Chain A
């Protein structure tokens, strides 16, 4: 047992092949400790195992080897209380209104009906969904739907929030503003945040620490400390260090991304002259 909020030791994931073949080594080995209240971001080439890492932490997929601990307890394909997940894909329930979707998050919470109602209202206001409370997901844009999913996660007041490219469907301006929202929430709630993103500037702007993942099988090949103050917002992009950190991330990531590209065009030259 360690005193980190989340702790991974030698975590690997191999997806078994359907026909008893060799299987697909998607992740690891990964060692990682997240401090309580830390904002941690992961960047990596596409298909390198980022979502897999998130699912292993959430207990949605059991690790093939190694251990995951959350608040000192083993996570084994058994989803612990206190973890909230926002997935990469649209996960709204189309048969429920925005309000009902968000209230769904509180099904297992022991609270009086009016207290739940209040919490749902608060999150709706926070996410700017007030005008759409009675709408159905089919009537909303992709970005709006993603906000509903974020709201459904936040309403449970998780102690660990796992975000898988939550702003993928948003335009750049909204992304930056949502980033500010997330930072504000993170400060307010004291939750630990684990964010997956493919936008380097987003990672640099938001996180305390940023890990770069290798091409599949994903390992953490570089971890960068940003040393930002806790009170910060998107204007941090003006700082000189911002460029330096983003550049360092890109330097590592570029090589890994090229490996992934080379894999896709198998047989061709790996790198242009």
Chain B
């Protein structure tokens, strides 16, 4: 192993140890009524994931999240490329996007619920509206920051329109677009879970809400742990890719 990866592995271990210690300390402070200590939670979680009742919830959430993310990325990219290249539309719509981005999406929930009803479509819609705007805003910037000289170089090499997009515009914008994807990923996950918590009959968000209703602290802790681990692992991965992409930009 190189010293570089040694260091990052050591840092990760130290970080996890600190988090666990903090968790344990918090438990001593908050007590049995609100929390469980790390070890008990891990044991409960290990148990939970072996029960048959758990997996439908997980797969429901993952399906809703995956579809919401796909929609957020597709719509965000299309909007971003369109507004990035078309300056008149950008002048009209970009301030609107920024304004919508800053309102708490939860206020739109009643409307979405009425429009989509309870269940999968509402969750997906709620997840997607969280993710679309950051992906779009980052893509707009990415497209606007493409150096014209690179496009000129493509023209000198006589690239057709499709080749121009594939081998110049897209790779040139990719690092910035990927940052948008990373932010969109986190927000879509939050949106999907919020959707599940407020109106659904399946999924991890729903499981969490039921656990709160039943004051099942073990279950609350276990679901929270699973979500945190998932989000942290994927975010770390995305951040590493993001850094790698940006290291190359001049």
Q: Which residues of A are interface residues toward B (Cβ below 8 A)?
A: 58, 60, 79, 81, 83-85, 87, 89-95, 104-105, 107-108, 136-138, 145
Instruction: Report the minimum CB–CB distance from A59 to chain B (whole Å).
Output: 8
Beta-carbon contact of A60 and B155 below 8 Å: yes
19 further contact pairs, Cβ within 8 A, besides A105-B157, A108-B159: A58-B156, A60-B152, A60-B155, A79-B155, A81-B158, A83-B156, A87-B149, A87-B152, A91-B152, A92-B250, A93-B171, A93-B172, A95-B174, A95-B248, A104-B167, A107-B157, A107-B167, A108-B157, A138-B249
A173 to B171, CA, bound (A): 35
Please give, as numbers and ranges, the residues of chain B lying within 8 Å of A84 by CB-CB distance: 156
A94 to B173, CA, bound (A): 11
* Known A-B contacts A87-B149, A89-B149; A94 and B249 likewise in contact (beta carbons under 8 Å): yes
Please give, as numbers and ranges, the residues of chain A lying within 8 Å of B163 by CB-CB distance: 107
Please give, as numbers and ranges, the residues of chain B lying within 8 Å of A79 by CB-CB distance: 155-156, 158
A54 to B44, CA, bound (A): 72
Instruction: Report the minimum CB–CB distance from B191 to chain A (whole Å).
Output: 31
Q: Which of A58, A91, A107 has the most CB of B within 10 A?
A: A91
Whether, in the assembled complex, B150 has its beta carbon less than 8 Å from a beta carbon of chain A, the answer is yes
A85 to B152, CA, bound (A): 10
Q: Taking CB as reference atom, which chain A residue is nearest B153?
A: A91
A94 to B168, CA, bound (A): 10
Q: Which of A81, A85, A93 has the most CB of B within 10 A?
A: A93
Whether, in the assembled complex, B10 has its beta carbon less than 8 Å from a beta carbon of chain A, the answer is no
Please give, as numbers and ranges, the residues of chain B lying within 8 Å of A58 by CB-CB distance: 156
Instruction: Report the minimum CB–CB distance from B3 to chain A (whole Å).
Output: 20
* Known A-B contacts A58-B156, A104-B157; A91 and B149 likewise in contact (beta carbons under 8 Å): yes
Could you give 17 example pairs across A and B, Cβ below 8 Å?
A: A58-B156, A60-B155, A79-B156, A81-B158, A83-B156, A85-B156, A87-B149, A89-B149, A90-B250, A92-B250, A93-B168, A93-B171, A94-B250, A107-B163, A137-B248, A138-B248, A138-B250
* Known A-B contacts A104-B157, A108-B158; A137 and B152 likewise in contact (beta carbons under 8 Å): no
A106 to B159, CA, bound (A): 11
Interface of B is mostly: helix
Per-residue CB contact flags for chain B residues 132-164 toward chain A (1 = under 8 Å, else 0) read: 000000000000000101101101111100010
User: Sorted from nearest, which 7 A-B pairs have the closest CB atoms?
Assistant: A95-B171, A91-B153, A91-B149, A89-B149, A138-B250, A85-B156, A94-B250
Instruction: Report the minimum CB–CB distance from A139 to chain B (whole Å).
Output: 9
Please give, as numbers and ranges, the residues of chain B lying within 8 Å of A95 by CB-CB distance: 171-172, 174, 248
Please give, as numbers and ranges, the residues of chain B lying within 8 Å of A108 by CB-CB distance: 157-159
Q: Taking CB as reference atom, which chain B residue is nearest A158?
A: B156
A104 to B159, CA, bound (A): 11
Instruction: Report the minimum CB–CB distance from B170 to chain A (whole Å).
Output: 10
Q: Taking CB as reference atom, which chain A residue is nearest B174?
A: A95
Beta-carbon contact of B149 and A90 below 8 Å: yes
Please give, as numbers and ranges, the residues of chain A lying within 8 Å of B168 by CB-CB distance: 93
A91 to B150, CA, bound (A): 6
Instruction: Report the minimum CB–CB distance from A90 to chain B (whole Å).
Output: 7
User: Which of A93, A105, A107, A138 contacts B150, CB < 8 Å?
Assistant: A93
Beta-carbon contact of A137 and B158 below 8 Å: no
Please give, as numbers and ranges, the residues of chain B lying within 8 Å of A105 by CB-CB distance: 157
Please give, as numbers and ranges, the residues of chain A lying within 8 Å of B174 by CB-CB distance: 95
Please give, as numbers and ranges, the residues of chain B lying within 8 Å of A89 by CB-CB distance: 147, 149
Instruction: Report the minimum CB–CB distance from A162 to chain B (whole Å).
Output: 9
Please give, as numbers and ranges, the residues of chain B lying within 8 Å of A83 by CB-CB distance: 156
Per-residue CB contact flags for chain B residues 28-49 toward chain A (1 = under 8 Å, else 0) read: 0000000000000000000000
Q: Which of B158, B167, B168 has the most CB of A within 10 A?
A: B158
